[in-house]
Structure 1
Amino acid sequence: MARSEVPDEWVERIDAICAAFPECVAEAAWAGTRWRVRGATVAHVFGGEDQLLRVTFRADPDEVAAFVHLGGPRFRVGGWGSDAVGLILDEGTDLAELAELLTDSYCRQAPAALAALVDRPGE
């Protein structure tokens, strides 16, 4: 079965979040779109063969543990590092939570000087 296409509105939503991050650029990925800072992936949105839409990103260790225990729509990504997690995206996705998670991912992936320029929710 073929992977589902990523609807433009989801690329636009994620791009609106990531555009606020210094030097964060969108590019075509092996599937879907990814956002990177100086070669490090901040977020990757893609459709799966099961026709579900996913976004993957990096998270702090305590957040990874929460993703493992909470389960769907959250998931742990195998083979991409110990801090890789993701969300299934749908009409019920909390966009404020997504923005916070992607901000944290950017700050984990970006050089410290760039991460220091970003306002982090709750800090």
Structure 2
Amino acid sequence: MAPADRPQVPEAWLGRLREILTALPRCEEEDAWVGTRWRVGSATVAHVFGGEDQLFRITFRAEPDEVMAFEHLGAPYFRAGWGRNVVGLLLDDDTDWTEIAELLTESYCLQAPEHLADQVDRPTG
């Protein structure tokens, strides 16, 4: 299906994601093949998009043990079909944006060069 068959991510959600991600050192927003992604260098930190099923998803990176945990938690979490450390979350009106901020900060720290990740206050616990 063509990207036109996918819904546009609500601007309010993109705004929230921009606040989280562009605050991170050298984290840049760009258009992706569908939706929007944020990268540090050539490494993708997060990718948000509307699916052909009309649901919204954000994918990000996680530690290997966390990938397994997310996979076992089930909806709204899922393991992506590509990359060993790629997981995702379905976004909706009940999304916990504090949790999203923590997950995306961790994703950034996994993808960024150490000297940039060291500049970030990481969530604890």
TM-score range, shorter chain: over 0.9
In the alignment, structure 1 residue 62 sits paired with structure 2 residue 65: yes
Match in the other structure for 1:23: 26
The equivalent of 2:86 in structure 1 is: 84
1:85-104 pair list within 5 angstroms: 85-104=87-106
CA distance in 1, matches of 2:68, 2:42: 26
Alignment-mate amino acid for residue 24 of structure 1: C
Say which of 1, 10, 15 aligns to 2:13: 10
Q: TM-score of the superposition, structure 1-length normalised?
A: 0.96
> Shift of residue 44 of structure 1?
0.3
Give the paired residue count: 122
Secondary structure of the structure 2 residue equivalent to 1:13? helix
Which structure 2 residue ranges, 5 or more long, are not aligned?
none
State the distance in 1 between where 2:75 and 2:11 align: 23
Identical counterparts, % of pairs: 62
- The aligned residue for residue 113 of structure 1 is 115
Of stretches 60-69 and 104-113 in structure 1, the one that deviates more from structure 2 is 60-69
Runs of 4+ in 1 over 4 A off after TM superposition: none
Shift of 1:19: 1.4
> In the TM superposition, what is the alpha-carbon distance from 1:91 to its structure 2 partner?
1.0
CA distance in 2, matches of 1:119, 1:20: 11
RMSD value, Cα: 1.0
5+ long unaligned stretches in structure 1:
none
Q: Distance in 2 between matches of 1:33 and 1:104?
A: 19
Q: Tell me by how many angstroms 1:39 deviates.
A: 1.1
TM-score if structure 2 supplies the norm length? 0.94
